[in-house]
Amino acid sequence: MTKQKKTNPDELLVGLVSISDRASSGTYEDQGIPALRDWLTAAVTSDWKMEARLIPDDRALIEKTLIELVDDIGCDLVLTTGGTGPARRDVTPEATLAVGTREMPGFGEQMRQISLKFVPTAILSRQVAVIRETPDHAALIMNLPGQPKSIKETLEGLKDADGKQMVSGIFAAVPYCIDLIGGPYIETNEAVCKVFRPKSAIRPKQDAHRQD
């Protein structure tokens, strides 16, 4: 895949990492990156680009990939999918914690709470989130589930039949987190995901568009 170092500080650069032995070897088609891309396309109205990676369940490679995306490419946000269960090859959380400088436990806690609304085996999920800091840059790295339906649910949250938010998804807190670590200001389509910011942190709405 192509490498594009971030050049515009006002544009969100998102790293998407799908972690799967079988998908990376071509045994079956990867669904993680398309699911993440499609959800971000629907949700984020600010300018953004993505840098995608499809890799096997190898801890050293996962760590190397996350470091590359943050330190070399300049991603503001990195979303991983896959490798967060209890199986021996599931090492995504360990790799993520190893490259992080600060843990953000609330994201993983909320993901499990959302998933528990659907399946009792959500308690087996080990997703974590961290901030990785360098001298001149910081990024939020989050582990997401492996299934497209679960990815959407954890990012977007739960809504009733009328579209009223019942449980907030984790992405509602992501833009303000990116604000606090010095990243670009992110706006969203409120019909998909309504962002929460303190009133003092809200800027006037801008005319923005997505860039794939």
> Where are the domains positioned within the chain?
12-200
Look up residue 156 and give its two tokens.
């977007």
Strands 48-55 and 12-19: parallel
What totals of helices (H) and strands (E) does the chain contain, helices first? 7, 8
Contact 170/110 with Cβ under 8 angstroms?
yes
pLDDT per residue rounded down to tens, the chain (212 residues): 456 678 888 999 999 999 999 999 999 899 999 999 999 999 999 999 999 999 999 999 999 999 999 999 999 999 999 999 999 999 999 999 999 999 999 999 999 999 999 999 999 999 999 999 999 999 999 999 999 999 999 999 988 888 788 888 999 999 999 999 999 999 999 999 999 999 999 999 865 444 55
In contact, 155 and 144? CB cutoff 8 Å: yes
Parallel/antiparallel/unpaired status of strands 165-168 and 48-55: unpaired
CATH architecture of 12-200: 3-Layer(aba) Sandwich (3.40)
pTM: 0.93
Helix/strand/coil (H/E/C) assignment for every residue in 38-93? HHHHHHECCCEEEEEEEECCCHHHHHHHHHHHHHHHCCCEEEEECCCCCCCCCCHH
